[in-house]
Chains A and B, each alone.
Chain A
Amino acid sequence: MELFSSFLTAALLAILLQNSIFERALGTNILIYASRKKEHVIGFSLVIIYVTSLSSVIVWLLDSNFSHFKHFGILMPLLYILVISIIYILSLILVWRFFPGLFRKIRTYVHLSVFNCSVLGGLFLNSLHGGSLPEYIGFGIGTGIGFFLAGYLLYIAHPRLNSDLVPAAFRGLPITLVYVGIISLALYAFVGYATR
């Protein structure tokens, strides 16, 4: 029960308080690209959940065994990229071998959903928070769910953000960033914000 509660707490932390988009702005460009189609929002989120949760297990092993090493911090990006790459290539081989239909569907965007700031940043945040294995996995899954939440909120607003009602210069990217900023502001209610 204790393991489950630490898993759940870490997942909720990643979804709400440390949301990769609204709180950390990690993978915003991928989110804007994915939010154009519902299938992309779901596909990208599932890939991110899969990669971050699996990577979290290996990252937990690395962190718990090598974090005392003097130069571990500077080597982290290289190690984490190697972890992500191994999971990416092995998973692609499995999907290509056993689910060729799915492989054809995802191959156009799978690289974008694996090699992005959201996945790598999620692993760094996981390391920053530390904790037990269930917490690492919970945080990894929460990162992907948080991405889905942000993606869905953007997907439903997409037609309005790109409509003629918005001045031409602000249509698309600029108004989308302001919109995400306003949702991010609303989420600050969970964290609490004090002005100086």
Chain B
Amino acid sequence: MSPDILNTIEVILNGLMTGVMYSLVALGFVLIFKASGIFNYAQGVMALFAALTLVGFQTGQIPFAHLINDMFGTHYHNWGVGFNNFIAIVLTILVMILFAWLVERLVLKHLVNQEPIILFMATIGLAFFMEGLGDLMWGANIKTLDVGIPSGGSFWWEDVTRTWASAGSEYYGMYIDVLDVWAAAIAVLLVVILTLFSQYTKTGRALRAVADDHQAALTVGISLRTIWVIVWSIAGMVALVAGIMWGSKSGVQFSLSLIALKALPVLILGGFTSIPGAIVGGLIIGVGEKLFEFWIGPLVGGATENWFAYVLALFFLMFRPQGLFGERIIERV
């Protein structure tokens, strides 16, 4: 094959991998929107908060250390060397469940039957609050996150693909980041677990019932508030996975919350209520933006990816407002 074709395949492959990373963030949005009709603006911050908490447990950081030291003139920063990865992840999941419970008790409970825009505004407030809380608890410095997932270009894949090039052509082999491959595998696993959970467990069926019709679910005895806690907890766990993957790439820092911006076009494309939609939408956006940047970017000065993702989403909105897999909204008058 000619290097040009191989380069195009490389771009598509890396686009798919990037798309998976976007999907990880979009999944959290879908879960909450499906179960409660809330567009959770705080999903990006939840990923940040989860990653910060995980690093805090891993490194044995004392939460609110700066505040404590300022108030009492002490110099405490760490309580010890920290927990191993497994315990740190389990503890972080518990924190995210506690967070979900608090959100339900302190925010959602008081906003039942309010307009969706009110709930959306509440999540904006929640995002700002959590960002500040994360800063106060764990500090604003950039943290290195290592849960043992390998990263960097795969030598093996480079060697294999180098032989695909036509004889005599200068080709270095195809690049793929091992971390992205892990992210893809984890995303697939996550979708399978979520699907099995929603199809074959009692709680999963209750979640689907609430997603289909809140009032009908209430009439058959499903507790809406319990379901909200469960769904926010699951979204918190998905946020943790997204936070681990993105945090492993760039360190855990406050710009991590901005990854939510990349999830929005994915949601518009895939539909706000579909888990497979979040995956397929992510893949389309990932491949689309990478190919556009590869072919058209150099002609227009580059940096087209953010722009392209939203234009593509806009295009879909015009023809299929509910997204590829979203539920068609039919309102009878």
Pairing of A with B:
no
Q: Which residues of B contact A (CB under 8 A)?
A: none
